[in-house]
Amino acid sequence: MKKPKIFVVGASNMDLISYVPRMPKWGETLHGSRFHMGYGGKGANQAVMAAKLGGEVKIITKLGNDIFGENTLKNYKSMGIDTKWVFFTDKAFSGVAPITVNTGGNNAIIIVTGANDLLSIEEIEKARDDIANADIMVCQLEIPIEISVAALKVAKDSGVTTIFNPAPARPELPDEIYQLSDIICPNESETEMLTGLPVKSLKDAEKAAKSLLERGVKTVILTLGDRGSLLVEEKEIVHIPAVKVKALDTTGAGDAFVGSLAYFLSSGKSVTDAMRRASYIAGVSVKSSGTQVSFPRAKDLPEEIAN
């Protein structure tokens, strides 16, 4: 059987995770309980999630000529991800993301994008044939927005389904982003920032999603944390409840959802079925600490989810 083909355009970061009893106040030095270093970046996480499920995954990203970059490349290869379009630069360090996680599993993240900012439109064009050969292309906002727009245009020109994850959040996006995206997949805070509308209830979420549809996107999938996810299209609105779990670390849960969503849609699943499976996998990811290491492989999932 043909493997689902996913092309990811996005950032690679090294996650530097500190676990603390609570978030520090301004000017405060706080003792943490432990420290973890792992591979991250929204593009990298989504690519790894899709690969762990069995997808044929390619990523275009840029790393620094440093130990973080070298190890990130090795990590991609160990996950079975095609690294043909992984570029290096000596003009910036690899991206890093210092992350603070409290005992409730909630996190605060600082992103220093570094080499990710130097990915160019010319490099996107070099990958045009491989983007065109994908079932789905995924991109986010940890790289310069003009690079995401260029990638979305290449995918749209080739008839490739596009998923746009507008994260990290920013208040305004070019109109063409919505028109080039088949699916936009923001979380609650990203939705509030994009629309200026509250997302305190499912009815709020529906109203905010409809305002995104008006901008030209065909399908809106809102991730709502422990409330699950919400599909909003012109003729259909479906709420997929979350699986109830005790969260240890929510870092990367949204990326687990998006990477899984891309994989299952590439496999030919319906949008609601893909959302249901992706929601389950995101729930599995929050039960363990770390980001990519918390993402399950297909063999570790129930048959009704992984199949």
| Residues with active-site annotation | 255
Return the closest-CA partner of residue 64 out of 97, 42, 91, 86: 91
Separation of alpha carbons 64 and 74, rounded Å: 14
> Residue 48 has which token pair?
């790894």
Separation of alpha carbons 88 and 223, rounded Å: 33
- How many C-alpha atoms does 230 have within 13 Å on its Cβ side? 22
Burial class (CB in 10 A: 0-12, 13-18, 19+), 73: middle
Residues 6+ apart with CB under 8 A from 86: 12, 59, 60, 61, 62, 63, 73, 76
Distances (CA, A) of 295 to 10, 31, 63, 287: 18, 28, 23, 10
Helix then strand then coil, % of the chain, to nearest 5: 40, 25, 40
The CB density around residue 200, as the number of other CB atoms within 10 Å, is: 10
